[in-house]
Structure 1
């Protein structure tokens, strides 16, 4: 079975496709000055764009792991998530508090989807 890697660097690939499954690298917001709601919205848009590039869509999500810097932001992040996922099939989901690579990153999404 072939493995297709899209947007590869010396460290990672933005998208990996294998066996009709799509794996996205962790998605963070481009502007760390945004609050948790804006960072979450921007991450979700990046997920949609990458899934489209890979030949899939948010309707084919299998699993999403959400890392947030501080659980005090859980409700605000969920408000954005709930609005975004409202009319889509629901993936398996986990949300954990995590130390981020940079202190201004408030949320990161790791996504697996069907092709």
Structure 2
């Protein structure tokens, strides 16, 4: 039987789920206004928080999917990403253009990792 732990749950979703040493984060969206770099930095701060809650960190990220409603923001997103990512342990990554649930959101990031 799988050991499953849920973090930050409500009736709709969990911010994070841990199952058998794997960590799955919900799509993280910005909690601040600002340009793409500021919003990405905020999302990455949230990712750090939830990974820590789950016994993991950015060195243990396996994969990331980044959603941008406007691919013109790619360089600005990468400015925050490159300053944050563990360059010794970069994850597999995809970046796609996608319409997000709220027009003020410039980025959403979905992460899967393993526990330390």
Q: How many residues align?
A: 114
Which residue in 1 is equivalent to 2:92? Answer: 92
Unaligned runs of 5+ in 1: none
1:58 touches 1:88 (CA, 8 Å); kept in 2? Answer: no
Q: Runs (4+) of structure 1 moved beyond 4 Å?
A: none
**Taking structure 2 as the reference length, what is the TM-score of the superposition?**
0.94
Unaligned runs of 5+ in 2: none
Which residue in 2 is equivalent to 1:75? Answer: 75
Q: Distance in 2 between matches of 1:110 and 1:64?
A: 6
Q: Distance in 2 between matches of 1:59 and 1:86?
A: 6
Structure 1 vs Structure 2 CA RMSD: 1.0
What SS is found at the alignment partner of 2:16? strand
2:59 touches 2:86 (CA, 8 Å); kept in 1? Answer: no
- Shift of residue 87, structure 1, vs aligned partner: 3.5
Which residue in 2 is equivalent to 1:14? Answer: 15
